[in-house]
């Protein structure tokens, strides 16, 4: 069913304006010229099936006055650090033949919206009538995966609310026959709402591309941009030297590192024959702790369970599901191991053996799903095979470093006979340091190759990530991560397994921190001078 | 901390509470779907309090709080549109930085006092100082932020109450040269045209006017591409490739301060090609013969070498201007902010006069003014002239005023007192011992900060009356008077095109703040001049009624409009759409004067130690010294700090990179920690910085050189050097490369 936009646009219900007069307040009706000018910037006919609304931005008209940005924030009551519509600058040429133009962009209401695809809770909806990409603050749990997925950095997390928000083309105004706040405020009429045929646009969306905008092909942006005719000047973004460290997402730094420790330790332990229930219990407790840490990343931790909802579509849901299964499987394995330790039966042993294969596999699958989350085109520095490699190698390093300690703890319990168990606990093989050395070497190699790859990349955002890693603040951190890794090996060689584990963990956490802060997301060009929010 | 807040904090932490109420939407009865926080109970019609474009607006009020602003769709100036400052203007009313109570310096500390104590102290201290050093030891600097009614009241209070002639306004930093230039050519102030002239002109020549940043709501007037607009040529003269220059058809990127050569050169070509209006010149002007002789030396070759333009470009522009049926020249601070500002304005007027491009639709030499009521202060002020464009040196004018005011004519001074920069200099010399600043912030806006600081520290008593405290100026004050601002007062503003618009109160002032008008009357009462100067006055409307009588029959005649008419009609222009339609000017013989204007190089030329020419200016997000716009989170977030623009060629030479922190140094001082922007917007050898920021005050380096006629400072050119700021001198180490 089409919106009543067409009817409202033509038979405009003229809004009354209250004025102060001598006698107090009178309601007077605005004149015709006003209602005409009011509706000329939104479509005058209803949408047909297969059509949607879109923004048209005329770069030749925009004077960069930023009224649209202010109007947007006033319309939506947003604080200063959140801007659903943003202005960017692009510049080129040499004085006096210099050109500078502006971009004014809200959401592009893409045909193939990545925000929507990634959302684990189905908070996004591409409105079947208008094509507007709508976001529900109610449904949102604040996981911010959409923020990572959008190539225009359109969805923005509001820490005060714990949820994300974005431009909805002033859906509430459009349905009442009013143009969006940005369109309404522009003194040059540079922004308007148009109708686009979705099928046609999918086959030719060239007009969505502009200097300073990420390639529209990522998600098929619907915003049409009119470019200046004098194309002999190459317009470039002016903000590319503004390198800002991204949010570190500490809970994710800890969560990914700890879950890799859990899964890695379980896998390494089982490979080395460690099936002791005490060891499994320790890993289980660690996993439970980790899963609790992970929900602190969410803006709305109480609704973490909703993240399972979109497992058929979202890698974030799949990660949650697989780590959930890992936890369940590990719990059962631990219970079975305790049973087996107390009462040996054939069926219990069979179950234990099966679970000993299944649980680490689920764990590794979870780690791969976890890595898959970061393989998004909108974050080019993450979107490489180095990410899953790093996650797996981190697991391996931590597993190799943790196993000797785990064995010592288990041994400790048995020697003190704290639990009256048959002492099969000491039957595991002697652990050597070679796996740790090998995995650490590979882990380092992966990081070095990644850094070189970023540095040499054709993609601006990857090079910018490399530059960020090479800034005064982060370069040292990068070296510290490597120093910790080296220290872990030295400690292992010096038969100090506890210190080896701590050093290895420190290396992983440090490098994971860098992973988060050094990513430069795809974004539209922004302004040169601006407040840089972390 | 109460239990409830702990519960709420926990709820927020786990995500049960998303502050959905705060971010809820609702239906505004007038404007439809909008954030609930912006839904108003009633809308009050008023006029914007930022710049002189004079946009009509509606302010939404709920629970005595201004919650939203809308452009007034029926207002002829802006037809419902507003710039970002106007759109967020309601936020300044309850800003944390508002001045809320009178503060008196006691033992070195500004201490809250009652209004009675504040004003008693002020009057007794000033009386005491005047008793010891003479009446003229008091200097007063007012502002274009006041209502016309308040400005009129203040003028009488200072000149007739305190009996000092040393009364001027911050408008001297802004448009004094336009006033002087108009007086030179036409015998009186008064911009002859209207905004609509830009739409009907064939050629629009903007000289030193970056309207896209400074008057953005005027930009649609030069729109040449939208359906229904007249095809015409926009020519922008500016050494910098401003936003406005980029909108133009022809940008003349002249060398700094070569505008007079350009204007004379255009005249040279016009005369040579016969593209002048001999009839108009003969009937309505004097001085053409000497002028024609004078500009004969400004050959295209000569002008090309001074301006850096090609001869072809110069001739092309001259022909465009000469062949236009109607040609409009607009200018702002690029012209005014100069030691030659007044005569540059005269040179602009010359072009209009010799081609008859004045007093007709689409044709005017038009000064686009700065502050919301700069025009009102020009008309009603008692500073550079007597109220109603009257002259100090005219006995007839003085007698006229004395009659209206019912006072002895001897009480009206026969010559003007010190202009703003001379008041400051007199304070340094010890001739001015008490200073009273009303709604202005010289510590950021006045050139050559060191001298100003000396003046502020030299005086015995410094009163700062402002809507905000602390400001960089109020920190020096002995007495701070908290004043109401735009949105809290009723009266009129007059915009650049002489349109008188109504300003209405939407909320009450914060704390104990009072309107400037109330403060003036309370002071008058203490001086014992209340009944003599302001008989029976209670409100600004009483001031308006007297101002109507004072302006009646004058060029700026307010007697034809009541407040109600002004409000109902969304502003009314005195003098109609154009002045001088009959070709009769305000000179003795009714003829306009054509002046010969020599082109001199600007005062402080770059040299080997100070190799760059510093240009200063503005950005659309901020207003003047940022006392207001720094209080609006969104605007301040958009542009939180100043920057320095430098050409890539110079940056390469100095091995500087984008976002490097640089220091600008002149003979007078240095400003550190500016964010470097390397851009082709500025020419090699020139740098540009915005002046809004007290943290990086451009006036620490600017030159204290003033126009001999208007006394306006030369903010636009001085010689500086640029170097990288040492790490120790930086305020913050941002996470930038």
User: Vertex A427, ends A421 and A430: CA angle to 5°?
Assistant: 140
Q: Is A247 on the interface with B (CB under 8 A)?
A: no
Q: What average pLDDT does range B275-295 have in this prediction?
A: 97
% of chain A exceeding 70 in pLDDT: 89
Q: What average pLDDT does range B609-629 have in this prediction?
A: 97
Q: Is residue A27 part of a domain?
A: no
What confidence score (pLDDT) does residue A5 get?
A: 37
Q: Is residue A413 part of a domain?
A: yes
Q: Is residue A101 part of a domain?
A: yes
- ipTM, two decimals, is 0.95
Residue A3 — pLDDT band, cuts 50, 70, 90?
A: very low
B731: pLDDT strictly greater than 80? no
Q: Is residue A106 part of a domain?
A: yes
Residue B7 — pLDDT band, cuts 50, 70, 90?
A: confident
Topology (CATH) of B612-729: Barwin-like endoglucanases (2.40.40)
Residues of A in contact with B58 (CB under 8 A): 17-19
Residues near B118 by beta carbon (within 8 Å), at least 6 away in sequence: B102, B103, B104, B479, B481
- Same structural domain for residues A119 and A211? yes
Q: What average pLDDT does range B596-613 have in this prediction?
A: 96
Whose CA is closest to B601, among B308, B183, B260, B189?
B260
Q: Residue B566 and residue B498: Cα distance in Å, rounded?
A: 12
Q: What average pLDDT does range B456-462 have in this prediction?
A: 97
Backbone angles phi, psi at B329, to 5 degrees: -120, 120
Q: Which residue of A has its CA nearest to B620?
A: A65
- Same structural domain for residues A365 and A420? yes
B321: pLDDT strictly greater than 80? yes
Query: Rounded to a whole number, what is the distance in Å from the CA of B674 to chain A's nearest CA?
Result: 11
- Does the B3-92 domain belong in CATH 3.40.50.720? no
Give A 387-406 residues with CB within 8 A of chain B. Answer: none
What confidence score (pLDDT) does residue A362 get?
A: 96
What confidence score (pLDDT) does residue A412 get?
A: 86
A245: pLDDT strictly greater than 50? yes
What confidence score (pLDDT) does residue A16 get?
A: 32
CATH 3.40.228.10, chain B: domain bounds: 176-367
- Same structural domain for residues A260 and A233? no
Q: Is A64 on the interface with B (CB under 8 A)?
A: yes
- Same structural domain for residues A213 and A337? no
Residue A382 — pLDDT band, cuts 50, 70, 90?
A: very high
Six token digits for residue A250: 């500490």
A122: pLDDT strictly greater than 50? yes
Residue B263 — pLDDT band, cuts 50, 70, 90?
A: very high
pLDDT tens sequence across A18-40: 322 333 333 333 333 333 344 47
Q: Is A163 on the interface with B (CB under 8 A)?
A: yes
Query: Rounded to a whole number, what is the distance in Å from the CA of A503 to chain B's nearest CA?
Result: 28
Q: Residue A426 and residue B289: Cα distance in Å, rounded?
A: 116
What confidence score (pLDDT) does residue A132 get?
A: 97
Residue A418 — pLDDT band, cuts 50, 70, 90?
A: low
B733: pLDDT strictly greater than 60? no
- CA-based R_g, chain B, Å: 26
A527: pLDDT strictly greater than 80? yes
Residue where one domain finishes, among candidates A210, A237, A264? A237
- Same structural domain for residues A214 and A292? no
What confidence score (pLDDT) does residue A389 get?
A: 98
Give A 313-352 residues with CB within 8 A of chain B. Answer: none
B66: pLDDT strictly greater than 80? yes
Whose CA is closest to B669, among B697, B641, B690?
B697
**Which of B37, B73, B219 has its CB closest to that of A63?**
B219
Angle between helix axes B259-272 and B341-354 (nearest 10 degrees) is 20
In this structure, what CATH number is given to the domain that contains residue A292? 1.20.1630.10
pLDDT tens sequence across B133-175: 999 999 999 999 999 999 999 999 999 999 999 999 999 999 9
Query: Rounded to a whole number, what is the distance in Å from the CA of B124 to chain A's nearest CA?
Result: 41
DSSP per-residue codes, B481-508: EEB--TTS--EEEE-TTSEEEEE---SP
Residue B4 — pLDDT band, cuts 50, 70, 90?
A: low
In this structure, what CATH number is given to the domain that contains residue A130? 3.30.70.20
DSSP state of B363: B
Residue where one domain finishes, among candidates A209, A237, A265? A237
Q: Residue A35 and residue B299: Cα distance in Å, rounded?
A: 54
Q: What average pLDDT does range B258-268 have in this prediction?
A: 98
Q: Which domain holds residue A359?
A: 250-517
% of chain B exceeding 70 in pLDDT: 99
Q: Is residue A19 part of a domain?
A: no
B736: pLDDT strictly greater than 80? no
What confidence score (pLDDT) does residue B636 get?
A: 96
What confidence score (pLDDT) does residue A6 get?
A: 35
Contact flag A94-B680 (C-beta cutoff 8 Å): yes
Contact flag B19-A245 (C-beta cutoff 8 Å): no
Residues of A in contact with B87 (CB under 8 A): 67, 70-71, 74, 185
Contact flag B87-A185 (C-beta cutoff 8 Å): yes
Q: A249 and A379 in contact (C-beta within 8 Å)?
A: no
What confidence score (pLDDT) does residue A39 get?
A: 45
Contact flag B638-A471 (C-beta cutoff 8 Å): no
Q: How many domains, chain A?
A: 2
Comparing B616 with B17, which gets the higher pLDDT?
B616
Residue where one domain finishes, among candidates A176, A207, A237? A237
Give how far the C-alpha of residue A48 lies from the chain's centroid of Cα atoms, to the nearest Å.
Answer: 35
Q: Is A39 on the interface with B (CB under 8 A)?
A: no
DSSP state of B711: -
Q: Residue B355 and residue B361: Cα distance in Å, rounded?
A: 14
What confidence score (pLDDT) does residue A27 get?
A: 33
What confidence score (pLDDT) does residue A417 get?
A: 67
**Which of B25, B504, B643 has its CB closest to that of A172?**
B25
B185: pLDDT strictly greater than 80? yes
What confidence score (pLDDT) does residue A30 get?
A: 35
**Which of B37, B219, B243 has its CB closest to that of A77?**
B37
CATH 3.40.50.740, chain B: domain bounds: 103-174+373-570
B361: pLDDT strictly greater than 60? yes
Q: A242 and A528 in contact (C-beta within 8 Å)?
A: yes
- Same structural domain for residues A202 and A154? yes
What confidence score (pLDDT) does residue A533 get?
A: 67
Contact flag A142-B15 (C-beta cutoff 8 Å): yes
Comparing B134 with A412, which gets the higher pLDDT?
B134
Candidate from A217-221, A292-296, B4-8 with smallest mean pLDDT? B4-8
Residue A15 — pLDDT band, cuts 50, 70, 90?
A: very low
Q: Is A13 on the interface with B (CB under 8 A)?
A: no
CATH 2.20.25.90, chain B: domain bounds: 3-92
Q: What is the pTM of this model?
A: 0.92
Contact flag B253-A299 (C-beta cutoff 8 Å): no
- Same structural domain for residues A120 and A223? yes
Q: What average pLDDT does range A408-412 have in this prediction?
A: 88
What confidence score (pLDDT) does residue B3 get?
A: 59
Q: What average pLDDT does range B191-197 have in this prediction?
A: 97
Residue B206, H or E segment? strand B203-207
pLDDT tens sequence across B647-676: 999 999 999 999 999 999 999 999 999 999
Mean pLDDT estimate for chain B: 96
pLDDT tens sequence across A300-347: 999 999 999 999 999 999 999 999 999 999 999 999 999 988 887 888
What confidence score (pLDDT) does residue A420 get?
A: 60
The number of residues making up chain A comes to 534
Q: Is A66 on the interface with B (CB under 8 A)?
A: yes
Q: Is residue A243 part of a domain?
A: no
Contact flag B212-A63 (C-beta cutoff 8 Å): yes
Contact flag A467-B737 (C-beta cutoff 8 Å): yes
Whose CA is closest to B247, among B220, B279, B208?
B220
β pairing state of B612-617 and B718-724: antiparallel
Contact flag B12-A64 (C-beta cutoff 8 Å): no
Q: Is A161 on the interface with B (CB under 8 A)?
A: yes
A428: pLDDT strictly greater than 80? no
B330: pLDDT strictly greater than 60? yes
Query: Rounded to a whole number, what is the distance in Å from the CA of A431 to chain B's nearest CA?
Result: 43
Residues of B in contact with A77 (CB under 8 A): 22-23, 35-38
What confidence score (pLDDT) does residue B320 get?
A: 98
- Same structural domain for residues A263 and A229? no
Query: Rounded to a whole number, what is the distance in Å from the CA of A195 to chain B's nearest CA?
Result: 20
- Same structural domain for residues A51 and A187? yes
- Same structural domain for residues A226 and A270? no
Q: What average pLDDT does range B50-54 have in this prediction?
A: 97
Residues of A in contact with B734 (CB under 8 A): 532
Residues of B in contact with A303 (CB under 8 A): 15
CA separation (Å) from A229 to A55, A58, A97, A348, B679? 20, 12, 15, 77, 22
Beta-carbon contacts below 8 Å between A and B: 228
Q: What average pLDDT does range A390-416 have in this prediction?
A: 91
A231: pLDDT strictly greater than 90? no
Q: Which residues of A314-341 are buried (b: 16+ CB within 10 A; e: fewer)?
A: bbbbbbbbbbbbbbebbbebbbbbbbbb
Q: What average pLDDT does range B527-534 have in this prediction?
A: 97
Contact flag B18-A242 (C-beta cutoff 8 Å): no
Q: Residue A441 and residue A447: Cα distance in Å, rounded?
A: 10
What confidence score (pLDDT) does residue A430 get?
A: 57
What confidence score (pLDDT) does residue B728 get?
A: 77
Mean pLDDT estimate for chain A: 88
Superfamily of domain B176-367: Dimethylsulfoxide Reductase, domain 2 (3.40.228.10)
Span B103-174+373-570 CATH architecture: 3-Layer(aba) Sandwich (3.40)
What confidence score (pLDDT) does residue A44 get?
A: 87
Q: Which residue of B has its CA nearest to A25?
A: B42
Candidate from A288-292, A333-337, A430-434 with smallest mean pLDDT? A430-434
**Which of A96, A137, A188 has its CB closest to that of B18?**
A137
Contact flag B684-A95 (C-beta cutoff 8 Å): yes
Q: Is residue A387 part of a domain?
A: yes
Candidate from A372-386, A412-426, B415-429, B646-660 with smallest mean pLDDT? A412-426
- Same structural domain for residues A232 and A255? no
A114: pLDDT strictly greater than 90? yes
What confidence score (pLDDT) does residue A321 get?
A: 96
Contact flag B219-A99 (C-beta cutoff 8 Å): no
Candidate from A23-32, B347-356, B478-487 with smallest mean pLDDT? A23-32
- Same structural domain for residues A433 and A302? yes
A507: pLDDT strictly greater than 90? yes
Q: Which residues of B91-103 are buried (b: 16+ CB within 10 A; e: fewer)?
A: bbbebeebbebbb
Kindly report the number of other CB atoms within 10 A of residue B573's CB atom: 18
């Amino acid at each position: 069913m089409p919106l009543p936009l067409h009817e409202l646009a033509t038979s405009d219900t003229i809004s009354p304006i209250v004025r102060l007069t001598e006698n107090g307040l009178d309601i007077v009706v605005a004149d015709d010229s006003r209602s005409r000018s009011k509706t000329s910037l939104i479509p005058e006919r209803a949408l047909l099936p297969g059509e949607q609304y879109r923004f048209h931005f005329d770069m030749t008209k925009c004077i960069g006055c930023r009224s649209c940005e202010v109007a947007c924030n006033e319309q939506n009551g947003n604080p200063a650090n959140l801007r659903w519509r943003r202005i960017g600058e692009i510049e080129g040429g040499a004085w006096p033949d210099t050109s500078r133009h502006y971009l004014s962009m809200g959401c592009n209401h893409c045909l193939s919206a990545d925000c929507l695809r990634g959302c684990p809770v189905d908070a996004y909806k591409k409105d079947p009538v208008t094509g507007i990409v709508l976001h529900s603050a109610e449904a949102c749990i604040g996981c911010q995966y959409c923020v990572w997925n959008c190539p225009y950095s359109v969805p923005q997390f509001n820490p005060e609310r714990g949820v994300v928000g974005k431009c909805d083309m002033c859906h509430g105004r459009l349905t009442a026959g009013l143009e969006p706040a940005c369109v309404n405020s522009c003194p040059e009429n540079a922004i308007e709402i148009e109708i686009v045929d979705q099928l046609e646009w999918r086959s030719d969306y060239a007009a969505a591309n502009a200097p300073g905008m990420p390639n529209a092909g990522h998600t098929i942006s619907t915003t049409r941009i009119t470019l200046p005719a004098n194309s002999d000047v190459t317009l470039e973004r002016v903000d590319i030297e503004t390198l800002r460290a991204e949010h570190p997402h500490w809970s994710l730094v800890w969560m990914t590192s700890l879950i890799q420790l859990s899964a890695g330790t379980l896998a390494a332990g089982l490979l080395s024959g460690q099936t002791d229930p005490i060891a499994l219990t320790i890993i289980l407790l660690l996993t439970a702790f980790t899963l609790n840490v992970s929900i602190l990343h969410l803006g709305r931790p109480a609704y973490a369970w909703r993240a399972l909802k979109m497992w058929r579509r979202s890698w974030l849901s799949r990660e949650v599901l697989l780590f959930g299964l890992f936890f369940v499987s590990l719990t059962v394995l631990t219970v079975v191991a305790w049973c087996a330790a107390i009462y040996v039966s054939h069926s219990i042993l069979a179950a234990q053996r099966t679970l000993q294969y299944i649980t680490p596999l689920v764990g590794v699958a979870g780690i791969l799903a976890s890595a898959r989350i970061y393989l998004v085109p909108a974050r080019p520095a993450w979107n490489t095979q180095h990410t899953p490699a790093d996650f797996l190698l981190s697991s391996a390093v931590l597993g190799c470093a943790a196993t000797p300690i785990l064995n010592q703890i288990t041994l400790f319990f048995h020697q003190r006979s704290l639990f009256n168990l048959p002492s099969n606990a000491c039957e595991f093989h002697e652990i050597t340091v070679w796996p740790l050395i090998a995995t650490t070497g590979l882990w380092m190699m992966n990081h070095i190759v990644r850094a070189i790859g970023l540095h040499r990349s054709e993609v601006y955002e990857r090079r910018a990530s490399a530059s960020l890693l090479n800034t005064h603040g982060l370069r040292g951190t990068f070296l510290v991560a490597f120093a910790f890794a080296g220290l872990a090996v030295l400690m292992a060689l010096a038969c100090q397994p506890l210190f080896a584990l701590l050093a290895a963990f420190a290396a992983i956490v440090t490098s994971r921190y860098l992973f988060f802060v050094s990513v430069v997301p795809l974004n539209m060009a922004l302004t040169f001078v601006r407040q840089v929010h972390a | 901390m109460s239990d409830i807040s702990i519960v709420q904090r926990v709820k927020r932490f786990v995500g049960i509470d998303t502050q959905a109420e705060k971010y809820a939407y609702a239906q505004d009865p007038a404007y439809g779907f909008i954030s609930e926080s912006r839904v108003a109970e009633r809308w009050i019609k008023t006029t914007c309090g930022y710049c002189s474009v004079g946009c009509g607006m509606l302010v939404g009020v709920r629970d005595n709080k201004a919650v939203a602003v809308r452009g007034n769709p029926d207002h002829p100036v802006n037809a419902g549109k507003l710039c970002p400052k106007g759109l967020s203007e309601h936020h300044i009313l309850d800003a944390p930085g508002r001045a809320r109570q009178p503060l008196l310096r006691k033992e070195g500390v500004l201490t809250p006092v009652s209004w009675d104590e504040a004003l008693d102290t002020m009057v007794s201290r000033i009386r005491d100082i005047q008793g010891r050093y003479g009446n003229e030891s008091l200097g007063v600097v007012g502002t274009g932020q006041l209502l016309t009614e308040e400005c009129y009241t203040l003028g009488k209070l200072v000149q007739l109450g305190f009996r000092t002639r040393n009364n001027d306004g911050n408008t001297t930093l802004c448009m004094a040269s336009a006033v002087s230039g108009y007086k030179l050519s036409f015998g009186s102030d008064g911009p002859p045209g209207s905004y609509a002239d830009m739409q009907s002109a064939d050629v629009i020549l903007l000289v030193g006017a970056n309207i896209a940043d400074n008057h953005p709501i005027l930009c649609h007037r030069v729109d040449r591409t939208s359906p229904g607009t007249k095809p015409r040529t926009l020519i922008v003269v500016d050494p910098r490739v401003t936003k406005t220059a980029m909108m133009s058809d022809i940008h003349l990127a002249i060398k700094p301060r070569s505008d007079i050569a350009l204007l004379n050169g255009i005249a040279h070509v016009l005369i040579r090609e016969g593209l002048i209006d001999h009839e108009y010149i003969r009937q309505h002007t004097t001085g053409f013969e000497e002028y024609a002789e004078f500009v004969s030396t400004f050959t295209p070759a000569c002008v090309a070498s001074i301006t850096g333009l090609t001869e072809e470009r110069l001739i092309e522009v001259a022909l465009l201007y000469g062949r236009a049926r109607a040609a409009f020249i607009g200018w702002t601070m690029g012209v005014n902010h100069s030691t030659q500002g007044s005569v540059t304005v005269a040179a602009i007027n010359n072009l209009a006069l010799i081609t008859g491009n004045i007093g007709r639709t689409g044709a005017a030499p038009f000064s686009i003014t700065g502050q919301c009521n700069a025009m009102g202060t020009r008309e009603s002020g008692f500073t550079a002239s007597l109220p109603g464009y009257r002259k100090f040196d005219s006995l007839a004018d003085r007698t006229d005023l004395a009659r209206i005011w019912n006072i002895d004519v001897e009480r009206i001074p026969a010559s003007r007192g010190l202009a703003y920069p001379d008041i400051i200099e007199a304070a340094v010399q010890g001739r001015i011992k008490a200073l009273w600043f009303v709604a202005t912030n010289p510590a950021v806006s006045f050139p050559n900060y060191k001298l100003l600081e000396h003046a502020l520290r030299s005086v015995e008593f410094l009163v700062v009356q402002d809507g905000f405290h602390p400001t960089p100026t109020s920190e020096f004050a002995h007495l701070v008077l908290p004043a109401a601002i735009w949105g809290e007062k009723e009266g009129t503003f007059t915009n650049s095109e002489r349109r008188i618009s109504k300003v209405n109160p939407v909320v009450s002032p914060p704390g104990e703040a009072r309107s400037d008008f109330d403060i003036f009357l309370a002071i008058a009462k203490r001086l014992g001049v209340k009944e003599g100067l302001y008989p029976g006055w209670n409100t600004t409307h009483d001031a308006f009624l007297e101002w109507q009588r004072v302006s009646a029959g004058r060029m700026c005649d307010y007697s034809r409009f009541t407040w109600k008419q002004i409000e109902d009609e969304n502003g009314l222009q005195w003098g109609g759409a154009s002045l001088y339609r009959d070709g009769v000017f305000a000179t003795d013989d009714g003829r306009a004067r054509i002046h010969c204007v020599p082109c001199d190089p600007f005062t402080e030329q770059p040299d080997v130690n100070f190799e760059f020419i510093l240009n200063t200016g503005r950005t659309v997000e901020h207003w003047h010294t940022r006392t207001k716009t720094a209080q609006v989170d969104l605007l301040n977030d958009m542009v939180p700090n100043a920057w320095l623009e430098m050409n890539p060629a110079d940056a390469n030479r100095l091995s500087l990179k984008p976002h490097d922190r640089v220091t600008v140094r002149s003979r007078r001082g240095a400003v550190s920690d500016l964010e470097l922007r390397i851009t082709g917007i500025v020419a090699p050898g020139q740098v540009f910085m915005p002046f809004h920021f007290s943290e990086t005050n451009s006036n620490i380096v600017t030159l204290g050189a003033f126009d001999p006629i208007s006394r306006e400072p030369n903010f636009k050119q001085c010689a500086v050097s640029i170097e990288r700021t040492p790490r120790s001198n930086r305020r913050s180490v941002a996470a930038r490369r």
